[in-house]
Amino acid sequence: MPEILVNQHALTGEGPAWDAGAQRLYWLDIPRATVFVYNPADQSNRAIDLSARFGNIGTLAPRRAGGLIIAPDRKIAFLDLDNGQVEVVLELENEHPGNRFNDGKCDPLGRFVVGSMAINQDGAAHGSLYCIETDLSVRTLRADLFISNGLGWSPDYSQFYLADSGSRAVWAYDYDLAHGQISNQRVAFTLPAGEFVADGMTVDQQGMLWLALWDGAAITRWNPQSGELLETCSFPAKRVTSCVFGGPQRNELYVTSAAIGLDAVDRQRYPYNGALMRLKTSVEGMPTYAFGG
C-alpha cells in the first residue's frame, strides 16, 4: 500500500526528481507555479511560490551548479533554492503563445530534454520535444505532439521512451547518447481502451517502464520489449501524474497526483487527490540526472 507523505491538494502535482546527494525530492504544482522540496528525514515539504512571476511551471531537474533548472511558461530558468531567485536563460515557442512546457528530464551527459503542449487542447498537435545542451543551445527532437509527456531512458541509454498523452501508444526510439539524438520511432506498448491516458514515467534498472495513468488511479509497470503489462499499482488518487525512484537504495517510488477538475464523487472516492505518495518496491530505479549547464 502506498504511503501518503504530503496531503498537499496540489492542483497538478508533477515533475518529481530525486537528489541523491541531498536525499531530497523536488516536485511542483504546475498551475500554482510552486516548487516543493520534500525532505524524507523530517517529512518537511518546503514550498517556493513563484506564481507572482510565472503562470505555471511544467517541470524541473537538479542542476550540477546548484539549485534547479525549471521550465516556467515557455521559458527555461535557473532557480536558487537558498534565496528563491530565478534567472530566465531561454524563451522558446514564441510562435505558440498558447503553449507551455510540460515534462522534462536530464540525460547522463547533463542535457535537458523537455517537451511542450498547448494549454487549451483544440485537437491539433502543437507540442514539440527539445534537447537543451549544457551551453543552452537548443535542438528540436520532434514536433507534432499533443501533450509531450512521460520520458525516460533504458539502463544502457541506448533507448529513449516518450508518451504523448494524445495517443494510446508509448513510443521507443534509438538514443544516440554522444549526440543527444533520437531516431527509429516505434511503439513500445499500447494502452488498453479506457478513460485513462499516459502521463509521467520512470524506468527501473531491469529496463521496465513505470507509467502513471491520469484518470486511472494507478502506476503501471510495462516491459517495453514485449509490450506486456507486468503490474498495476493502485493509488488513492484518480489523477496519478508522475513517478520517480528515490531513497537511499533507490527502491522507493515517489508518486505525484492532481486534484484539478475533479467532481465531488471523485473527491470522495479518491481522498488523496493532489497528494505526494510513496511506494516501496522490490526493484532499484534509474537515477535522476542533473543539468550540466
What pLDDT score was predicted for residue 1?
Answer: 87
Q: What is the CATH number of the domain that holds 56?
A: 2.120.10.30
Q: What percent of the chain has pLDDT over 70?
A: 100
- Give a yes or no: residue 285 inside a domain: no
What pLDDT score was predicted for residue 93?
Answer: 96
The answer to whether the predicted template modeling score (pTM) of the entire model surpasses 0.95 is: yes
Taking residues 64-83, what's their average pLDDT? 98
- Give a yes or no: residue 160 inside a domain: yes
Q: Model confidence over 121-172: pLDDT tens digits?
A: 998 899 999 999 999 999 999 999 999 999 999 999 999 999 999 999 999 9
Q: State the CB neighbour count (10 A cutoff) for residue 186.
A: 10
- Do the Cβ atoms of 26 and 39 come closer than 8 Å? no
- Give a yes or no: residue 246 inside a domain: yes
The full 3-state SS of the chain, as one line of letters, equals: CCEEEECCCCCEEEEEEEECCCCEEEEEECCCCEEEEEECCCCEEEEEECCCCCCCEEEEEEECCCCEEEEECCEEEEECCCCCCEEEEEECCCCCCCEEEEEEEECCCCCEEEEEEECCCCCCCCEEEEEECCCCCEEEEEEEECEEEEEEECCCCCEEEEEECCCCEEEEEEEECCCCEEEEEEEEEECCCCCCEEEEEEEECCCCEEEEEECCCEEEEEECCCCEEEEEEECCCCEEEEEEEECCCCCEEEEEEECCCCCHHHHHHCCCCCCEEEEECCCCECCCCCECC
- Give a yes or no: residue 291 inside a domain: no
What pLDDT score was predicted for residue 204?
Answer: 98
- Do the Cβ atoms of 39 and 19 come closer than 8 Å? no
Q: State the CB neighbour count (10 A cutoff) for residue 211.
A: 29
Taking residues 178-202, what's their average pLDDT? 96
What pLDDT score was predicted for residue 123?
Answer: 87
Taking residues 253-262, what's their average pLDDT? 98
Compute the distance between CA of residue 92 and CA of residue 84 in angstroms, rounded to an integer: 23
What pLDDT score was predicted for residue 24?
Answer: 98
Taking residues 42-55, what's their average pLDDT? 98
Compute the distance between CA of residue 177 and CA of residue 11 in angstroms, rounded to an integer: 35
Q: State the CB neighbour count (10 A cutoff) for residue 263.
A: 8
Taking residues 182-197, what's their average pLDDT? 96
Whether 199 sits among the annotated catalytic residues: the reply is: yes
Taking residues 81-102, what's their average pLDDT? 97
- Domain of 251 in residue numbering reads as 3-280
Residue 111 in this model has a pLDDT that exceeds 90: yes
What pLDDT score was predicted for residue 223?
Answer: 98
Compute the distance between CA of residue 227 and CA of residue 211 in angstroms, rounded to an integer: 13
- Give a yes or no: residue 287 inside a domain: no
- Give a yes or no: residue 286 inside a domain: no
What pLDDT score was predicted for residue 261?
Answer: 96
Catalytic residue (choose from 199, 204, 215, 263) = 199
**Number of domains composing the chain:** 1
List Cα–Cα distances, 289 to 80, 108, 141, 171, 271, in angstroms: 18, 6, 19, 21, 33
Please, which pLDDT band fits residue 239 given cuts at 50, 70 and 90?
A: very high
Q: Of 49, 145, 159, 154, which Cα lies nearest the Cα of 103?
A: 145
- Give a yes or no: residue 289 inside a domain: no
Q: Of 235, 190, 161, which Cα lies nearest the Cα of 13?
A: 235
